[in-house]
A = this chain, B = another copy of it.
Amino acid sequence: MPAAGVSARTGRVAPAVVLLSGGLDSSTVLAVARSDGFAPHALTVRYGQRHAREIEAARKVAEALGAQRHLVVDVDLAAFGGSALTSADIPVPRNALGNEASGIPPTYVPARNTVLLSLALAYAETVGADDLYIGVNAVDYSGYPDCRPEFVAAFERMANLATRAGVAEGRTVAVHAPLSGLTKAEIIRLGLSLGVDYALTHSCYDPDPSGRPCGGCDSCLLRARGFAEAGVADPLLR
């Protein structure tokens, strides 16, 4: 049996497609994919976010963690509207983490992870990868339906019926969500153990024009709570 990451099909280090936003979670996932023995192809999707700061973060992280290639692809999710992350008309909530029980927050982007994984699947087909990595997290997931393990498993089943690999060549597509059961503190500890430089990452939903995090959105609050629980200072705030 070949080592993890070495393709039984080709005998070489296998490629894997890693969805990389430039945030804390996806940067950690890129390090996990590399640690699993894959040659990571990082995919950043520019989907109409209100700021481009995280694309820049993704570029730095991909380079620092030795991604084989980093592709930035555009899809205009803002054309649909409906989310505070793509529409200037919907404000990003501040200091609202205590309201998690009230349901799906306005920062939810409709069908975002479905779209992201679909694009990862397209990329995987063209580079011959059978493995996709996504940094969804079921613990601190802020109420997004498409971050749950049931969703990831259903996407994987669908992917195996959708592609040349799964159908014509009898291969199997796997969707890895290695952060799924981890708290933010555990993710940070994992990333640090794998050499992630969190100073390069970007989490804020609503930074100021210079790129400084707002400190009050859900994403900033979850990040701060994670570093506090991990007992580590956030290098971004130094």
Q: Are A145 and B158 in contact (CB under 8 A)?
A: no
- Contacts of A114 on B, CB cut-off 8 Å? 118, 121-122, 158-159, 162
- A79 and B75: CB pair below 8 A? no
Within 8 A of B (CB), among A128-146: 145-146
Task: Check B104 against A168 for contact (C-beta < 8 Å).
Answer: yes
- Total interface residues on A, CB under 8 Å, equals 45
**Chain B residues in 8 Å Cβ range of A108:** 164
Assess whether A119 is interfacial by the CB under 8 Å rule. Answer: yes
Residues from chain B with a CB closer than 8 A to the CB of A158 are: 114, 151, 154-155, 157-158
Asked if A76 lies at the interface with its beta carbon under 8 angstroms from chain B, I say yes
Copies held by the complex: 2
Interface centre among A104, A126, A159 (most CB of B within 10 A): A126
Give the residues in chain B near A228, CB-CB below 8 Å: none
A53 at interface, CB cutoff 8 A? no
What residues of chain B lie closer than 8 Å to A166, measured between beta carbons?
145
Given A74-B76, A82-B125, A126-B81, A162 contacting B111 (CB threshold 8 A): yes
Chain B residue contacts of A80, Cβ below 8 A: 71, 73, 122-123, 125-126
Q: Chain A interface (Cβ within 8 Å of chain B)?
A: 71, 73-77, 79-82, 103-104, 108-115, 117-119, 121-123, 125-126, 145-146, 148, 150-151, 154-155, 157-159, 161-164, 166-168
Q: List 7 A–B pairs whose Cβ atoms lie within 8 Å, in order of A's numbering.
A: A82-B125, A103-B168, A108-B164, A110-B121, A114-B162, A146-B161, A155-B158
